[in-house]
Amino acid sequence: MKLGWLRTLAGGAVAVAMATAAQAEDTIKIGAIYSLNGPAAPFGVPERDIVEALTKNLNAQGGINGKKIELIICDEQTNPTEAARCATKLTRQDRVVAILGPTLGTGALALAPIALANKVPLLSPVGTIPVTSKDNAFWPWVFRTAPSDTLIINALFERAVFQPKRKRIGILYQEDAYGEAGMKLATQLSKERNFEIVAAVGAPLTAIDLTAAATNIRNANPDVVLVKTSAPALGAAFVRAAKQVGITAPVIGTGSLNQRPFLDAAGPAAEGIQIVSIGNWDDPSEKQKKLGEVIVAAGKTPKGYAELIGSTGAIAVFEAIRRVKGEVTGPAIRDALETICEYKDTYLDGSLCYSKDQHEGVFQDTLITVEVHDGKFKTVK
């Protein structure tokens, strides 16, 4: 009697183990690390939302080559230490074969060595220049899914500074790897193109009162003011302060301001602000209309830039998995990513391209300029 019970129990345990193993064989685990709390949450939450929606839709269609995608999300709380902790958990405990994210460049720099150590590719939606520097040992494992800051800043100066021949430049930048790398490039360009940075003021991501910063820039009498931040709240705080202290020079920002949270936080102070970016939810292309339909079908409201760069990473890793011959591993996905080029089946208006020599992904053909009018973004033709 007792022996029979033990055999039944053992048989049940074996059956459960076999079912679990079979389920694991039919599942591909992808990690996703986003800022779901903290100053970068206006970016991180819509990034998560679109990746969840795309994964759900893909699985409903049968997955990839008969395998479903299991998405495992970790909140890095706008904190590079948490980003590294998330990467350690995802790679060593959850055994993911690729990671999407994180939301900020400081987080990407913190966790990229972990991706390298565990041979897991990182598809990172950040513009921070050093993230894809070939000087980094982790370079082979990092793939950018957003316009790099090198691309954005060069376009910003070409469109907003060099064409109108503005010579005196004021800059508000966030105090982290993203802002500091952007300032380094701007300083280099100032020497090459003969313009003067008359004021460069840094601010932490959590700053809410930028009156002093705006006053310092106003007093330098710039021809144009550039806002270099990845946090919509910080950009909004600055344009409100600029209005308050009487800055009359044009204010031009980078991609992260091209989303609804910036407009909501800035209010009337956003009027006339230009932004060099990708996509425009208020005047969407046909591709972005389709992305908007995916977001709405998932019960969410489109926010802007974040969904575009978030969706690009998910689509890239899905396509890489499709191209893998044999077992789907981190190294196999990494190698497959390097074969994706002139790829247009994303929601970007340009194409996606990686190779063995470059991991930037997104290029000039994706960029547009938008301007705020009456609380909406208008594409500048």
Query: Residues 108-123: pLDDT tens digits?
Result: 999 999 999 999 999 9
Instruction: Say which range, 3-7, 34-38, 147-151, has the weakest mean pLDDT.
Output: 3-7
Across 323-343, average pLDDT: 97
User: Per-residue DSSP letters for 199-213?
Assistant: EEEEE-TT----HHH
What pLDDT sits at residue 25? 66
Burial degree of 184 (CB within 10 A; 0-12, 13-18, 19+): middle
Give the pLDDT confidence score for residue 381 in this predicted structure.
Answer: 80
What span, in angstroms and rounded, lies between the C-alpha atoms of 305 and 296? 16
Residue 193 has pLDDT above 90, yes or no: no
Residues 341 and 101: their CA atoms lie apart, in Å, by: 21
Token couple for 78: 């706008």
Question: What pLDDT, in 10s, does the model give residues 124-180?
Answer: 999 999 999 999 999 999 999 999 999 998 988 888 788 788 899 999 999 988 889
Under 8 Å between Cβ of 367 and 279: no
CA distances, 341 to each of 218, 272, 299, 318, 358 (Å): 45, 36, 32, 14, 11
Range in 90-99, 208-217, 272-281 with the lowest mean pLDDT: 272-281
What's the whole-number mean pLDDT along residues 179-183?
90
Answer yes or no: is pLDDT of 57 > 80: yes
Residue 53 has pLDDT above 50, yes or no: yes
Q: Number of C-alpha atoms within 13 angstroms, CB side, residue 283?
A: 15
Contact 266, 366 (CB under 8 A): no
Q: Backbone phi, then psi, for 124, in 5-degree steps?
A: -110, 120
Residue 363 burial (10 A CB sphere; 0-12, 13-18, 19+)? middle
pLDDT digit string, tens, across residues 280-294:
989 999 999 999 999
With a cut of 50, say whether residue 5 has pLDDT above it.
no
> In terms of Cα–Cα distance, which of 208, 190, 254 is closest to 200?
190
Q: What are phi and psi of 321, to 5 degrees?
A: -60, -40
